[in-house]
Amino acid sequence: MKPSYVLMIVSILFSFGLHVLGLMHLVPLWISGPILFLSLLVFFVFLNDRKRFKGL
């Protein structure tokens, strides 16, 4: 199944906006920080995923 990179980028932008709100003390940083980290982690994991030969 092909990952939707557009959906992941939208998720990163949303979590970045949420983190900016966290830096302005409107949302707790302990909520917005991990959300931004996880969205970036998922994006880079799918970006680095390549087809590998796994043997016969």
Which has the higher per-residue pLDDT, 54 or 10? 10
Summarised one tens digit per residue, pLDDT across range 16-56 is 999 999 999 999 999 999 999 999 999 999 888 777 777 77
pLDDT of residue 17: 97
**Cα 53 to Cα 6: distance, rounded to the nearest angstrom:** 27
Q: Is pTM beyond 0.85 here? A: no
pLDDT for 39 equals 96
- Angle in degrees, 0-180, between the axes of helices 5-23 and 29-48, rounded to the nearest 10: 160
- Two tokens, residue 49: 């995923």
Provide the pLDDT for residue 3.
66
